Each structure stands twice: as structure tokens, then as C-alpha cells.
Amino acid sequence: MKPLAIFGGTFDPIHIGHLSVAWEAAELLDAEVRLMPASVPPHRLPPTASAEQRVNMLRAALSGQTRLTLDTRELDRSGPSYTIDTLHEFRREFGDRPLVLLLGADAFAGLRSWYRWRDLFEVTHIGVLNRPGVEACIPVELERAVAPRRTEDLNIIRAQPAGRVVELMATPLEVSATRIRELLAAGRDPRYLLPAGLFDDSALLAPYRESFGH
């Protein structure tokens, strides 16, 4: 069965780094990939753009293809979203279908701070996407937990519903939403770091330009 891969994030804003690694993960895993914006990220400052604005940017970014889709379930729920709860919901919905939680290397290195992180392996595989330019040193406790779960065999990921960790070697792109927000706030135009649908519609980027000129 084709795996379902879930790529969560704040997407504040979505950029070509997100899209490119999500696309390559879809190809490597032969999976459908859902981009899933987070509402109240438990471990970070609130996003600059509202949930609605981030969804509008995602919709614009994803138009014209069907391999990457949008899943707004965490925004439709009130209060903080814990990934473990969301994944249980996916599991109920999709039965034994392989689920793969996609995490950039930086997010994976911080996994120990996630609520009930050890339980994630009961429900999902984890696909770790390489990401250049970030400190992604894996703490010993995390490596000890994941070492027996590591595999390089994508057939295993497709044959089992959950429980393995695979490194997905995507083309390295050193792009971050933080950098894009900084450029926009400084009045710059980082158009080729953004999906075309975003720079064609200047209203979508207005939340990041507001500090410019004040």
C-alpha cells in the first residue's frame, strides 16, 4: 500500500525548501505527502501570519499538482496540537497503511522535547530529511532509542505500518522561513525562495512586510 507521509510545520511562510524536500520524499517513498500546518505550536513562538493566511499561502503553493496535498486538521481543532494525538487520528482513519512522519534533521534532533515522543514509533515511521546549515546533533538518548529502528530499506517502510526510522536524502537547500521573514521585513523581495504562487499575489506576503517602513 502506498505510504501516507505527513509533513507538519508552521509554514510561516511555506518556501521552496519545504516543497522540494516534500516532493523528493514523495518520490523516494512513492507516497502521498500531506502538508499539515500547526495551529499553536507547543514549543515555539506564535507564527507571524495567522492560520488562515498560512493556509492561503499553502493553497497557492500547492496548486497545479496532486502529489502534495494540504491537511488542515490541526487548525480545525481548538487548543494545542500534539503530534502523537494527530497521528493516532490518522491511524484510526487509515488502518494499517504505512504512515511516515517527515521531519527535517533539525526537528528530528529535538524530538525528545515532544510530548510522548517514544510513543510515536507505535503509530508511525519517521523519515528524516537532511537539512543543510542547521545544527542537528542527535542526543545520545535519542540515538539509543532510534538505533534499532533505523533502516535504509524503503521496502520495509512500505511493508510495515510503523516503527522504523529512515534517512531521506533530499537535495540540500539552505532555505528557512526565518530568513525569508527577515528579508521581507527589511523590504527585500526573496521571490525565488518562495513558490511562484506566493510572489504573484502580494497580499499573501503582506503579514511579513508590515514592519517595513514603520
Residue 32 CB, nearest approach to ligand ATP (Å): 17
Residue 180 CB, nearest approach to ligand ATP (Å): 8
**CA within 13 Å, CB half, 93:** 9
CA nearest 38: which of 12, 61, 18, 68? 12
CA nearest 38: which of 4, 82, 69, 68? 82
When CB distances to ligand ATP are compared, the closest residue is: 104
Q: What are the DSSP calls for 75-141, one per residue?
A: HHSSS---HHHHHHHHHHHHTT--EEEEEEHHHHHTGGGSTTGGGHHHH-EEEEEP-TTS--PPPHH
Residue 96 CB, nearest approach to ligand ATP (Å): 25
Q: Which residues bind ligand ATP (CB under 6 A)?
A: 9-12, 17-18, 21, 103-104, 106-107, 129, 131, 173, 175-178
Select 92 or 195, whichever has its Cβ closest to ligand ATP.
Answer: 195
Select 36 or 123, whichever has its Cβ closest to ligand ATP.
Answer: 36
In this structure, the strands spanning 99-104 and 32-37 are: unpaired
Select 9 or 98, whichever has its Cβ closest to ligand ATP.
Answer: 9
Alpha-carbon distance of 41 to 38, in angstroms, equals 6
Residue 36 CB, nearest approach to ligand ATP (Å): 10
Residue 43 CB, nearest approach to ligand ATP (Å): 11
**Peptide linkage before 132 cis (omega within 30 of 0):** no
Residue 95 CB, nearest approach to ligand ATP (Å): 26
Select 21 or 123, whichever has its Cβ closest to ligand ATP.
Answer: 21
